[in-house]
A = this chain, B = another copy of it.
């Protein structure tokens, strides 16, 4: 008899998550532009831990208590926050060894929504290989949860979901019967040879360009720059890989 394979599903919006949710699966939260890319950068730069908060008022309360607060909505830094949601805001001299409170338009809401599941990991192109290896060792079903844009489908999170799906299927330990996972893998295969060019059509890229934030795009789509595995543990995000350097 052949070995039982674990299943991969992709969920294109936090609003659809209740239809995919399975408390025993590992959920990989994805928000390529920019929350999960920024979280991986923060851990690569040795932040101690992140406290994700979905609401603005909660973030403000943490600021009053003296925490460093990173908070934005629609790409604009909130007036009380120390820094925004760009990977470059999380430089080592700012975050190394620190606890940082973190609130964004889409990403932290998706993390909060996933938190009822047994394990929640943070994925982006920067930690694709490391994450894939770690997921393969866990022996669990996987739900890749795209943060999307205000609950709508977006291309960048989908294409990453396809990259991760393909990598996991290639291990021989996983299978999928999920149409979203199959569509994501097909889109990744269209995009992968020139991903920056493919992404020129994505709505969120245009949004960032309008706000002059699009200089981070090449960084957000660069592969395997870190081995961090950020996971959600007791309402905080911590890194469970100590091997940071590639």
* Contact surface of A with B, Cβ cutoff 8 Å: 12-13, 15-16, 19-20, 149-155, 158, 177-180, 182-183, 186-187, 190, 201-204, 206
Contacts and interface: CB of A to CB of B under 8 A. Distances in A.
Given A12-B153, A152-B19, A158 B177 contact: no
B150 A179 contact: no
B179 A203 contact: yes
A183 B155 contact: yes
A16 B152 contact: yes
Nearest to A180: B153
A199 B190 CA distance: 18
A153 B179 contact: yes
B16 A151 contact: yes
Given A155-B183, A182-B155, A190-B190, A150 B19 contact: yes
A134 to B, nearest CB: 26
Contacts of A155: 179, 182-183
Contacts of A206: 177
A158 B183 contact: yes
Contacts of A153: 12, 16, 179-180, 183
A186 B190 contact: yes
* Closest CB pairs A-B (n = 5): A155-B179, A153-B180, A154-B179, A19-B151, A179-B203
